[in-house]
């Protein structure tokens, strides 16, 4: 892969899991001397742009107010000029809008075109499924981060031998647990800041990190916070934190006010340094309705935080034996499990250690990046069809153990 260039195309750099996924992949490719470039089609600059600049990844804007602009001859000419300037060896697209733009870009280069599918039931609903079927002949290979994403891609007409399931990976050297004393000190400062001084630092923190969208189900998070605050218990001091931003913020703020959660729940917005905030959580709660393999969950696990999450996407696989998994609408179950961890510090400690161990073993950035590099090498190789046979969908057992055929 030396002296090759991978061009990533994405919908935006707003700071979601898909964008962090691309950033992690850029870091890995940089470590093995593979050049990267990035095109975002969002009309607005994203929250993660500076992180890409820090990794010396060129960020290029090709703003599209609508995908219909790709039907305009002058916009296509501008895209062709950009692709010929970058001269990619591989185009790797993420998210629906990025994938459509990537398909258009693939007409102006001989570079193989790869798409990563991050979740199911959101990106390719309705007419988008028709567009997926239309694009499939342009795509050389599909990487899916969960079995549900694989199944959705199969429905879209993609062949099994041109697909592989590779859950997301993270840098376990960055997302690390804090020592007891350091955590106590840092948490005290942090809580006083986000709760306007109304905290002493000894509280148990139940937190989540996700874009404020309906599929993240943060309304359930707020309801659980209210129930925990109302539940009897001597000496129980708990604070709840939602990191993230997005279109559901106003609705969540309204629910926050209606449930009288001032001083109980803080929603400080997007965090640019999750590796500093996640280790301060005592419990990570993710009640999503739809997921792939959520990066925030893996990051929390890597930080040694015990996790409770919905059994959607590949969450169950990630947390198997290393966390608590529930149905996404099971409010009573979430409430009881959160309460049980609040009241059982030894169980929190055990689950946190198990979570860290699981991520180090199965989701570290190096083996994850290696699997993607193998796909790059396969689609660039002369005997492409033979190499693809070894990269087709693995069983769930292989995904967990990392026993990938070579």
Q: At a CB cut-off of 8 Å and minimum separation 6, what does 182 contact?
A: none
Nearest to 212 by CA among 146, 125, 271: 271
| pLDDT tens, position by position, 310-361 | 999 889 999 999 999 999 999 999 999 999 999 999 999 999 999 999 999 9
pLDDT at site 395:
40
Residues counted in the chain = 406
Helix (H) or strand (E) segment spanning residue 59:
strand 59-61
Nearest to 315 by CA among 275, 334, 353, 287: 287
pLDDT at site 46:
82
Low-confidence ranges of the chain (pLDDT < 50): 382-406
Q: What is the CATH number of domain 5-169+364-401?
A: 3.40.50.2000
Torsion of CA 88, 94, 95, 101, to 10 degrees: 0
| CA atoms within 13 Å, Cβ hemisphere of 52 | 27
pLDDT at site 401:
39
Q: Are the CB atoms for 122 and 40 separated by under 8 Å?
A: no
Q: At a CB cut-off of 8 Å and minimum separation 6, what does 139 contact?
A: 103, 113, 114, 115, 158, 162
Nearest to 223 by CA among 194, 259, 192: 259
pLDDT at site 135:
85
DSSP-derived secondary structure for 183-251: HHHHHHHHHHHHTTT---S-SEEEEEE--S-GGG-HHHHHHHHHHHHHS--TT--EEEEEE--STTHHH
pLDDT at site 383:
43
- Show me where the domains of the chain are located: 5-169+364-401, 180-362
Q: Which residues of 247-272 are buried (b: 16+ CB within 10 A; e: fewer)?
A: ebbeebeebbeebebeebbbbeebbe
pLDDT at site 126:
72
Residue 96: other Cβ atoms inside 10 A: 21
Residue with tokens 């490719």: 29
Cα(306)–Cα(16) distance, integer angstroms: 22
In terms of pTM, does the model score above 0.75?
yes
Furthest CA-CA distance within the chain = 69
Q: At a CB cut-off of 8 Å and minimum separation 6, what does 357 contact?
A: 322
pLDDT at site 372:
96
Q: Are the CB atoms for 101 and 109 separated by under 8 Å?
A: no
Phi, psi of 116 (to 5 degrees): -105, 130
pLDDT at site 155:
85
Q: Are the CB atoms for 96 and 122 separated by under 8 Å?
A: no
Strand order in the sheet with 59-61: 59-61, 35-40, 5-10, 90-94, 113-117, 141-144, 163-165
pLDDT at site 141:
96
Cα(192)–Cα(190) distance, integer angstroms: 6
pLDDT at site 129:
79
Cα(117)–Cα(94) distance, integer angstroms: 7
Same fold, 5-169+364-401 and 180-362: yes
Q: Are the CB atoms for 46 and 40 separated by under 8 Å?
A: yes
First to last CA, the chain: 17
Cα(106)–Cα(227) distance, integer angstroms: 52
pLDDT at site 348:
97
Assign domain 180-362 to its CATH architecture: 3-Layer(aba) Sandwich (3.40)
């Amino acid at each position: 892969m030396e002296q090759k260039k991978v061009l990533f195309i994405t919908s935006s750099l707003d700071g979601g899991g898909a964008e962090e996924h691309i950033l992690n992949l850029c870091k890995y490719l940089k470590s093995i001397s593979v050049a990267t470039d990035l095109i975002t089609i969002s009309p607005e600059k994203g929250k993660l742009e500076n992180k890409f600049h820090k990794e010396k990844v060129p960020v290029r804007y090709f703003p599209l107010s609508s995908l219909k602009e790709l039907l305009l001859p002058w916009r296509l000419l501008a895209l062709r000029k950009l692709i010929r300037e970058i001269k990619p060896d591989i185009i790797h697209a993420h998210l629906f809008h990025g994938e459509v733009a990537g398909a258009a870009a693939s007409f102006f280069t001989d570079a193989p075109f790869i798409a990563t599918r991050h979740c199911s039931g959101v990106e390719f609903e309705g007419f988008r499924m028709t567009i997926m079927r239309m694009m499939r002949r342009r795509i050389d290979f599909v990487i899916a981060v969960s079995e549900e994403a694989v199944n959705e891609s199969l429905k879209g007409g993609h062949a099994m031998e041109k697909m592989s399931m590779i859950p997301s990976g993270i840098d376990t050297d960055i997302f690390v647990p804090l020592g007891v004393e350091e955590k106590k000190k840092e948490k005290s400062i942090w809580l006083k800041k986000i709760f306007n001084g109304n905290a002493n630092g000894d509280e148990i923190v139940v937190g989540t990190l996700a874009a404020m969208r309906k599929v993240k189900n943060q309304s359930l998070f707020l309801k659980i916070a209210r129930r925990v605050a109302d539940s009897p218990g001597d000496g129980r001091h708990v604070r709840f934190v939602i990191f993230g931003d997005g279109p559901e913020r106003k609705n969540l703020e309204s629910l926050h006010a209606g449930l009288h959660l001032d001083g109980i729940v803080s929603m400080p917005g997007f965090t640019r340094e999750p590796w500093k905030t996640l280790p301060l959580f005592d419990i990570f709660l993710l009640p999503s309705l739809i997921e792939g393999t959520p990066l925030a969950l893996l990051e929390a696990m890597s930080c040694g935080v015990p996790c409770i999450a919905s059994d959607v996407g590949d969450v169950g696989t990630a947390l198997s034996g290393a966390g608590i998994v529930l149905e996404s609408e099971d409010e009573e179950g979430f409430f009881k499990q959160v309460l049980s961890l609040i009241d059982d510090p030894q169980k929190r400690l055990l689950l946190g250690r198990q979570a860290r161990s699981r991520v180090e073993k199965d989701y570290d950035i190096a083996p994850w990046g290696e699997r993607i590099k193998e796909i790059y090498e396969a689609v660039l190789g002369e005997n492409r069809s033979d190499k693809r046979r070894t990269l087709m969908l693995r069983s769930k057992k292989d995904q967990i153990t990392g026993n990938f055929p070579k």
